[in-house]
Amino acid sequence: MKEVVLDTETTGLSVKDGHRIVEIGCIEIENLIPTKKNFHCYLNPERKVSERAFEVHGYSDDFLSKQKKFADVADEFLEFIDGKRLVIHNAEFDLGHLNNELLILGKKKINNEIVDTLVLARDKFPGSSINLDSLCKRYRIDNSRRTKHTALIDCDLLAKVYINLLDQKEPTLDFQSEKKITENNNESIQYYKKVIKPSDKEIASHQAYLKNNLKKNYFN
């Protein structure tokens, strides 16, 4: 299945305060492998960037004033994501801004299937920091290029985080498939999650260890 890892940068946090998008970055992946198809643009938000947002991404009002407006790229963007699952970190934020831009143009809201990696990370690491930098550190992903928040670099990092969150780090060849693998055909490459279940004896031993080594008030 084709998916699009997506990120935006904006003039500020809330569309209710009139904030707009200044950058969109998209990386297409298929079966968790980048297809080398990207969508990227800077945008003229037709308003000033907040001080806080400038600290985050570093895009000045002067630089952005020379870029295209969302209306100029909307159709190309919608065509790029059409029919593909969207992978977004904190999807509520990005979708809120994207749908606001579409609303301004009188276009329909995005109705693609969504995977929110923030939710995946929260379920997998409850109580831990789950921002993109923290997840890169956890999975030993080099994020040294990320001196500022930029949409395309963040998409590249998020794609790697996403694969790790799914525990699908390495492609496995499906030798039972009748399809032949060629330089231009990776359709027979699939990903598998290896699950090893502990035995009853191992579970009992682990529970005994916890009771003996953790504070008694953890167990009633």
Residue 100 in tokens: 């606001």
Single-letter amino acid, residue 141: I
**HSE, side-chain direction, 13 A CA sphere, residue 105:** 16
111 phi, psi to nearest 5 deg:
-125, 25
Instruction: Select which of 89, 97, 149, 206 is catalytic.
Output: 149
Per the CB < 8 A criterion, the answer to whether 40 and 122 are in contact is no
- 97 as an active site residue: the answer is no
Which DSSP string do the residues of 155-196 spell out, in sequence order? HHHHHHHHHHHTT--S-EE-TT-SSPPBTTB-TTEE------
- Residue whose pair of structure tokens reads 């299945």 in the numeric block: 1
Per the CB < 8 A criterion, the answer to whether 45 and 53 are in contact is no
Residue 97 in tokens: 């801004």
**Cα dihedral value 13, 18, 19, 21, nearest 10:** 130
Active-site residue set: 149
